[in-house]
Structures are given as C-alpha cells and as structure tokens.
Structure 1
Amino acid sequence: MLSLFKKKNLNKTGEDTTVSSEELLNETSANLSAEEEVETSLHYSPAYMPTQELKYVYQFLNLDLTPLKPNQVSLSGIDLKQDGGDVTVTAFIRNSLDKAIQLQEIPLLLLGVEDEMLGRKVFNFAEVGEIPAKSSTPWVFTFSGDELATVEEFPKTGWKLAFELKTARRHELDLEESWANSLPEEDKARLHQLVAEIQAPKPGEVNFMGLQAKQTSEGNLHVTMLIRNGSDKNIQLQQLPLEVTDASEEVIAKGGFTLDDLEVKANTSKPWTFIFPSDLVLKENVDLSVWKAYPPQQHS
C-alpha cells in the first residue's frame, strides 16, 4: 500500500465530509466551546495495524488535516484504488468529541467530484472498535459489485466518502395507478388516515395487514390487505402464497398469487386485493367476523 504514496509527494486524494455527532449518534460534548478548534491525534484500531512505513504516511497526512469543530464526526478521504471490479477506499474516521464513540452499521456513500453517486454500502463499524476522543483512525473500506455505479473510470482526486444520514420520514400510502384512478375520494382519504394513524412497520420489516374480506355469491373469497414496506428500498413481489383463517381460527382458504413484480415503494403501504376462487375455499360456511390473512411462513 505504501506505493500509493510517493515520499516526495504525500498528498491525500480525497476530500473531507463532516456531520454533527448529535445527528449521527445523538452524542455531544458539553465541555467544548462551539468556536474551539479540535486537533485529532492518530489512533489505530486493533483490527487494522499497518506497517511502520505506512504509519509514517498516516502520521504525516494526519498532521496536515484541517481541525474540526466540537461535536463532529468526519470522514477524511486518503486514497481510492480500483482493482478489477472492486474499489478500495482508505479514509480517516475522525471524532472531535471529548469522549470515545462506537459506531455501528451505517450506510456510506462514495461520491464523485460533482457529488454524483459512485457507490453505496452499509458498513459495520463495530469492526473498527472504539474511536477515542479527539482522534483520527485510518480504515480501509471496500465497495464491490452492485454497490458501485457503472462508470468508465473512478476519479483519482476530489472524491468523497460520506455518511448517509436518514431523516425521519413518515410512513405513507402507496396507491397503484389503477386504484388511484378508480377508488372514490372518500375511500382514498380513509386509507391515507389509516396508514397515518397505525404504527409503522419496523425498519427493514415487510408485513401484511388485513383490511376487508368478503365472499361473493359464487363462493369466491375477496381479501384486501395492506402490504407494508418498512425498508428504505422499493420491493418487488413476484409470487405470494397466502392462507386465510376465519373466526374459528381454521384455515378457510389457501393459494399462491403471481403478482408480476408488484412494486411497493420504500417506507409505504400498498393496498391490494387477492381473489381466492371457490375451489380454493376450503370451508363451506365461513365466519368473517374475525379473520386473518398471511403468508404461511409469517403465521405465529
């Protein structure tokens, strides 16, 4: 790795990004003046012990870093190297608090000269260990495969590594276009109110909530459910097995549904109606005063 840094020109190639420790960690230092400048001393994680020569490089680069303000966490880009389909980024993790911090899983963004997205990956900072007060810790981050954007060449200078901060976002209703066009405004308003009032799914969780079940005169069972996506990514459903129980808690219908990549946007709930034809209804007289519908693997 030393070959990346020529002793006659020990310049880091990346820029610095900085976030508030309160925003990132809900942590602040009360003992520091807001106008104070914080120098960060070099620290090595037990999980990454560079060679003595490379320590010299890090020491030189750390001395040249711009001081931080109190209550900041910074990523200071040192080097970016492209190796086949992987991109390896070396950066200082800097902590200006007057106490140690411990980061956990946080998404990182690799940004280009114009702040264009070059990569995104969730890194587990628990591997780094504790980052002491007022310190700079060098660490190596690797992006690969679909974690990287498709570009001809990654920039040699001017790139940035940044924390992706999630702002609190309200869970919202996601209506398929056909529903938006056909559903009465009163029903749309009720659905919006329902989604706003019920507890949102946990981060990363996808679950199902029953809205309405009714049986037609032909014996078909119509079940309307909310598909609730608590993740920060859109999901596509291709196939969904479902079982339905009635007030007796017996399974009254079961079947598999092909959905043709039905998309539920990030942090939204989408209503959808599943129709069980009469030959998939397993009970003659069903009691829908109380009912549940669920994928079999989610039945507890």
Structure 2
Amino acid sequence: MLSIFRRKNQDRMKKTGLESSVSSEDLFQVSEESAEEEIFTDLSLHPSWNIQSEQMYVLRFLNNELPPLKPNQISLSGIEIRPDQAGVEVTAFVRNSLTKSIKFQEVNLLLLDSNKEVIAKHTFDLSELGDLPAKSSRPWSFLFPASALLKSEFEKEGWTIAFELKKKHQLDLHETWEQSIALEEKEKLEKLVQSIQPPKQGEVNFMGIQAKSADSGELHVTVLIRNGHDKNMNIQQLPLQVEDASGEVIAKGGFKLDNFEIKANTSKPWTFIFPSSLVTKEKPDLSKWKVYPIQ
C-alpha cells in the first residue's frame, strides 16, 4: 500500500515533493511530433490494484493538481517522503506524455533535497510498474534502502525524485595535452572516443592508439585509458607491457604518475615512453600490437 494511505489523517495530506522531467529520447530513444504544447496526464492504476473509493478520490485529487507536461517527456512527481529504519520511502507519480505506452526496465534514481543535493541514489527494477499507458500518471512507491543514503538529515519539503541519466562517454585531456595538441588532433580523438563502444559500467580498460620505435631505441606508446566508473579515479603507478604482431612481449616496465586522474565515464590518452633498456626486441613488428597492465 502507498505510504499516503497509511497516514492517520488524510485531511492534512500535503504534497511535499517537486516535479522532475526528462526527454523520452534520452530515456527510451523515442520521440514524437506533436501539435500539443501542454499534455495533461490521466490517472492510471496498476491492474493488480484494488483500492477503496476514498483512496481513489485522494489519488484523483493529487493527479488533478499536477502541472501539464510537454510533448516527449517522462516525469516523476514527488508526493510524500517517509524516512524510517529501513531507509527512505518515497511516493511519486510516474508520468508519460507520449501517445504510446512505455515499459521501464532497471532505472537509476536520485533523491535530492531542497538544495538539489543528493540524499540517496539507488537502482530500481521498474518493470514491476507494468505498461504505463499513453498520457498517464501512475502512483508508485520507491524504497531507497538505508545503504543507499548519503545523508540522514534533510528537509521533508521541496525534495525531488529524479532519473539519473548516464552522461555520454567523453574525452578527457590532461592539461598538458590540452595546451599542446592541435585542434585537428583533438577532434580526431573526440571522434575516436565517440565511435567505439564505451566501457561497461565499473570497467577500466586500456586501448592502444599508436606505437612508434624511436631512433634512440625508445618505444613510444600512446594509450587511451577508459574509465567506466561513475566516480573519478587516480592512478599513481602503472606497470605495462607491450606485445607486437607476433605476440612476443617487446617492452615491459612500470610508470609513476603524478596525481593522474581519469574523470568518471571518460577516456584519457597518455603516451608512455619505454627507454631502450626496457625494450626487449630490436625490430618489433608494430603492424599489429597491444598494450595492457601487468597483473
């Protein structure tokens, strides 16, 4: 049962949450042309629900108070928030302004306070919500477990429940690269990062971009370090080895890095120079090669 129906006094009920909307294109890769500027959403209950007429009246009243949506919007409209020992339970309307029904899968949701600071973040399986009809609002309850809370004290009014959209994987250049490489080279790197499959959630991998043998015997290897985490990461030391087309290890060594940060969900290029003393093959075949960290 929704938390709003566990209140002792329904007459004093007050909607304390705000509205947050995202583009249907961002969430479902769906977009429609529409002549409507404002779309009002009809109340929709889950097919398995069987509620009393008084409770239906409450939901209709709350739904009628909702602001209209714009075309191609998916929205969460907070109703009530109830902290307890299990975490924080949030009641909200899930809203759809499309002219077709939608079905959610797993979504990442944020709970924000009145200052838009994160109270909690959690992944929910919203397939349980069922098919959300066209131009409709469906009330639902979300439990952010205690383990998902980032702060325990917050205002109980002016809060927001919102979809957390993963940002597009981007290029992150070290300041020395930002200052030294040509614009054309930067554009090539950006196109490369956008053209390849981003790393999986929580994955860090290394992609070789360029390998050159210098006349001095050094081996210059440019690597794209790809961070699939939603947090920044720092690398202090990195042991690497390189194989050429024959599969033979041609260089091996450790590198110390000074506060080398790769921002969340970004790829950062860096050139590692193996001195001749660490290069084990005089004429490596660099028509095909790979570089990877030494475990």
Q: TM-score, normalised by structure 2?
A: 0.74
Unaligned runs of 5+ in 2: none
Letter in 2 for 1:13: T
Aligned equivalent of 2:18, options 9, 15, 20: 15
Aligned equivalent of 2:197, options 195, 199, 202: 202
Answer whether contact 1:246 1:286 (CA < 8 A) is retained.
Answer: no
State the distance in 2 between where 1:254 and 1:4 align. Answer: 66
Answer whether contact 2:41 2:96 (CA < 8 A) is retained.
Answer: no
- CA-CA distance at 1:216 after TM superposition: 8.0
Unaligned runs of 5+ in 1: none
State the distance in 2 between where 1:274 and 1:117 align. Answer: 38
Letter in 1 for 2:134: A
SS of match in other structure, 2:10: coil
CA RMSD across the alignment: 3.8
Residue 235, structure 1, aligned to residue 233, structure 2: yes
Q: Which residues in structure 2 correspond to 1:149-298 (within 5 Å)? A: 149-150=150-151, 153-165=153-165, 171-175=170-174, 177=175, 179-180=176-177, 185=180, 187=181, 189=183, 191-200=185-194, 201-205=196-200, 206-214=205-213, 221-229=219-227, 233-237=231-235, 240-254=238-252, 259=257, 262-274=260-272, 281=279, 283-290=280-287, 291-295=289-293
Q: Which residues in structure 2 correspond to 1:138-157 (within 5 Å)? A: 138-144=139-145, 147-150=148-151, 153-157=153-157
State the distance in 2 between where 1:85 and 1:274 align. Answer: 49
- CA-CA distance at 1:280 after TM superposition: 5.8
Q: TM-score, normalised by structure 1?
A: 0.73
**1:61 paired residue number:** 59
Answer whether contact 2:110 2:118 (CA < 8 A) is retained.
Answer: yes
Answer whether contact 1:43 1:135 (CA < 8 A) is retained.
Answer: no
Aligned equivalent of 1:25, options 10, 25, 28: 28
Aligned CA distance change for structure 1 residues 10 and 148 (closer, same or farther; 3 Å)? same
Q: Which residues in structure 2 correspond to 1:25-174 (within 5 Å)? A: 25-28=28-31, 33-35=35-37, 37-44=39-46, 52=51, 57=55, 59-65=57-63, 66=66, 68-69=68-69, 71=71, 72-84=73-85, 86-144=87-145, 147-150=148-151, 153-165=153-165, 171-174=170-173
Aligned CA distance change for structure 1 residues 204 and 120 (closer, same or farther; 3 Å)? farther
Aligned CA distance change for structure 1 residues 158 and 180 (closer, same or farther; 3 Å)? same
- CA-CA distance at 1:148 after TM superposition: 3.6
